[in-house]
Amino acid sequence: MRSSFRLFRIAGIDIGIHFSWILIFVLIATTLALGFFKTALPNVSTATQWAAGVLAALALFASVLVHELAHSLVAKARGIPVRSITLFIFGGVSNLEQEPEKPGVEFVMAVVGPLTSLVLGFVFWLAYRGMQSGSVASPLALPATGYDSVWAATLYYLAYINILLAAFNILPGFPLDGGRVLRSIVWGATGNLVRATNVAATVGRVFGWGFIALGVFWIFTGSLIGGIWIAFIGWFLSSAAETNRAEVTMREHLAGAKVKDAMVQYQDTISPQTPVSELVQGVFSQRYRRAVPVCEDNRTVGIVTISDVKGLPQDKWPTTPVGQIMTREPLYSVSPDDDLNTAMKLIAQHDLNQLLVMNQGQCAGLLSRAEIIRYLQLAQELKIKTPR
């Protein structure tokens, strides 16, 4: 996920947070401190209420991380590489390098998340009950306020929120875990992944619209913040369902297509010594290219793009060689006979605009996102069948 940074690794999986996580963390901690803990623990200091709010918010996201780890560890056990887990404004997401190839694998991967949240909720509830009954020593014993201690109140909240997360995630709307369970069932019954995705995504959009309607109702009945938040969740569900549906449909249409079917084949290359001004006038302006391979001694040594040129003041173009601004490494490439889905996966994984196409050690051309989209549009319009 873009705009995120890595924190640590667990079981070979990078754990990171998106910048939006900071916003939601502050919002949850503030809401807990000024709402739940202020009501549940009125006899403690304001500082203690805020400390409890921050602690509970951290524990909430730790629970979300455990939920996502369950998905990821099952995926790895089934041979599916997992790049990372990212915590963001709507919880967490496991970034898989490929989708499950069988409905049974997707079913197990999907259902383990809500089950993990349910188990966590049960464990927190047992701990809360033990602390309330006095069987667990508490260093922060309080007067009778409904909770025996700050820890008891925190455990109650974590039990409640994990059970709520399990219930929410099992809703049968894609891309929620319940939606993936639904997709796996339809996929297994029909043998058609695209049809199953369309069914699950449609249900997901219906749930999304339902949340939006509920949010609007709440707004007009006096619950402004809650209503906005519910509507925002609904919008996210609806848009995520449509995005996932489009991605699966695209992968299905690209299945069997080769890189050579979509790539631009040309012999334009430049040397590292070529002035940037010549690159702009001779390649970008005259031939309408946005990128060109850089070669030296019949060997590809880099790639230079319009974005590279944008970072250089125009008065320095005539005196600056391309070798100073080009991308040297890593150089990602595919061969003409590689599957287009493989190329798309590489582009998405490394957030690239184009790939080098190498044939027997020589640069045969470039493949960009735009060329893949153009090929897909043409194939759909002319109903071109690709070999399977």
11: left (phi over 0), alpha (psi -120 to 50) or beta: left
Residues paired with 95 in a beta bridge: 84
Q: Which residues are known to be catalytic?
A: 68
